[in-house]
Amino acid sequence: MDYLPIFLNLKNEPCLIVGGGPVAARKAETLLQAGGLVSVQAPQIHDSVLKLRDSGRITLIDKAFHPEDVCRFKLVVAATDDADLNAKIAEAAKTHNIPVNVVDQPALCTFIFPAVIDRSPVVAAVSSGGAAPVLARILRMRLESWIPPAYGRLAKLAADFRVRVKQAIDDPRVRRRFWENVLSGTIAELVFAGRDKEAAQRLEQALVAEASGERNRNVGMVYLVGAGPGDPDLLTIRALRLIQEADVVVYDRLVSPEILDLVRRDAEKIYAGKQRNQHTLPQAEINRLLADLAKSGKRVVRLKGGDPFIFGRGGEEIETLMNEGIAFQVVPGITAASGCAAYAGIPLTHRDHAQSCTFLTGHMKDGRLIDVDWKQLSRPGQTLVFYMGLQGLPEICSRLIQHGCPADLPAALVQQGTTQSQLVLTGTLATLPDLVNQSEVKAPTLLIIGTVVRLRKKLAWFEPFDKA
C-alpha cells in the first residue's frame, strides 16, 4: 500500500493553495466542500479564482510565495506551473510538518487527492497513488452508479438509532448482525425510495422485535421490478441491485436468460410465466404467492419483462399486497415499445410522421381480438404499437384497412427486440402477414404500424452478431 487512506477534518481549518490558475480553482472547490477556510496565493489570478473571491468563499493573497508563508496553515497545495517553485513549496511545508500536495508531482506529495464519492456523511475515495488519475475517476464513476445518493440519509438514520441499538443489544456479534439486516434490507430500500419516516418506524419495530426475541416474525417486502425488453444492459441500476439482493425472484417468461444469470446464486427462482392458453400459475395464485413469501420475512422480487405497469398486470398484484398490509415498491423498466423500436431503428414519434403513439394489446380471447376503437386507430399521424400481436396480426391488419388505413401503410414486426435473437420484418398492412407466415418468427414480438417504419432504412443501427 503506497498511501494510507485517511480522512482529514478540515472544517474551519486554514488551507493554502499556491497558484492562481484553473487547477487552483478546482482544488479550492474541493477544500471548500470539506469545510476548509481557503486562501489562494499568487501574483496573477485566473478568472475562475476571482469568481470564488468575489463570492466571498476564499481569501486572495496577492504576492509571490515565501517559505514562511506556510506557517499558519494546516494544509498546503502547490498548484503552480513552475516545477522549481512547486518543489520549494513542498519543502517548506514538510519542514513545518504540514501535509502538502503538489499537483501532478506525486513524488513531492505527502498526501494526494483521491476521486471522491460523496454521500455525506458516507464518503468513499478511490486513488491510484497518482499513477493513473483518469483510471481513478473512471472507477469513481462506476461506484457513483452503484451507491445511491440516499446512502447519506441511511447513514443519518443509523446515527439516530446508534446509541439506542447499543443499549438494547449488548452482544457485539448480535448487534452487528442486526445492523447488517437493517442496512441491506427492507429498511434501507425504504430510505432509497424516499420513505424515511416509514423506514424509521420499521427500524423501531425491528429493534423492539430483536429485544423481545421475535425478529423472525418480521414481514418482508415485495419489489415489482421491470426487467426491460431483454438486453441486460438496459436494466436500471436500481433493478440490478434489487435482483442481486433478493431472497426470492418470481419471474415471467419474457425475462431473458441473461438477466436471470444476474440473480444471486443462492436466491430461490420461481417461474410464473404465461403463454397463450398455457399458464404455469394463474394470476390469483401469483398474487397469493407474493404475499405468502413476504409474510415469511423474505425480500421478494417480482421480475417482469418490460415495465410492470404496461400490460404487466402489476396493478393487480399490488392490490393484493395492499389488502394484506405488505410493503411494496415498483421499479419501472424500459417497456418493449420503447426498447424494441429503438433497437429496430424506428422512432415511435417524429415531427414529419407521427405526433402521437398508442400502445395496445394484440391479445386474442376466444379466437378474436379484444375490441378497440378501430376508427380512431385508423387516423393518420400516429404510431400504433401492439404488444403480443403475433397471433392476431392478420386480423389487426385487416381491421385497420377496413376502417380506412391505406393497405400500403408501413408495418414492422420485431422479434425478441434488443437481444442477439432480434429479427425485424418490415412490410405493409397488406404484405406483412404473408411475410410473417413465410418466416419462423417466435414470440415475444412487437408490432409497429405507421409511416415511422419507413425511417428504419436510414436509422437502423443494431445488428445482432452472427452466431454461425
Q: Active site residue: 252, 373, 442, 457, which one?
A: 252
Locate 406 and state its grid cell.
Answer: 391505406
Q: Is 297 annotated as a binding residue?
A: no
Which H or E element spans position 448? strand 445-449
Is 388 labelled as part of a ligand binding site? yes
Three-state helix/strand/coil letters over the chain: CCCCCCCCCCCCCEEEEECCCHHHHHHHHHHHHCCCEEEEECCCCCHHHHHHHHCCCEEEECCCCCHHHHCCCCEEEECCCCHHHHHHHHHHHHHCCCCEEECCCHHHCCCCCCEEEEECCEEEEECCCCCCHHHHHHHHHHHHHHCCCCHHHHHHHHHHHHHHHHHHCCCHHHHHHHHHHHHCCHHHHHHHCCCHHHHHHHHHHHHHHHHHCCHHHCCCEEEEEECECCCHHHCCHHHHHHHHHCCEEEECCCCCHHHHCCCCCCCEEEECCEECCEECCCHHHHHHHHHHHHHCCCEEEEEECECCCCCCCHHHHHHHHHHCCCCEEEECCCCHHHHHHHHHCCCCCECCCECEEEEEECCEECCEECCCCHHHHCCCCEEEEEECCCCCHHHHHHHHHHCCCCCCCEEEEEECCCCCCCEEEEEECCCHHHHHHCCCCCCCEEEEECHHHHHHHHHCCCCCCCCC
Distance CA 411, CA 348 (A): 12
**236 annotated to bind ligand:** no
CB 344 within 8 A of CB 462: yes
| Residue 310 annotated as binding site | yes
Q: Does 44 carry a binding-site annotation? A: yes
Residue 406 annotated as lining a ligand binding site: no
Clarify whether 231 is annotated catalytic: no
Question: Before 121, cis peptide (omega within 30)?
Answer: yes
Q: How far apart are CA 109 and CA 26, in angstroms?
A: 18
Integer Cα distance of 294 and 272 in angstroms: 16
Please check if 433 is assigned to a binding site: no
Q: Is 43 annotated as a binding residue?
A: yes
Catalytically annotated residue among 274, 292, 352, 466: 274
Residue 259 annotated as binding? no
Q: Is 22 annotated as a binding residue?
A: yes
Does 420 carry a binding-site annotation? no
Question: Is 228 annotated as ligand-binding?
Answer: no
State yes or no: 417 annotated in a binding site.
yes
Has 47 been annotated as catalytic? Answer: no
Point out the annotated binding site for NAD(+). 22-23, 43-44
Extract the annotated binding site for S-adenosyl-L-methionine: 229, 305-307, 310, 335-336, 388, 417
* Annotated binding-site residue numbers: 22-23, 43-44, 229, 305-307, 310, 335-336, 388, 417
Residues annotated as part of the active site: 252, 274
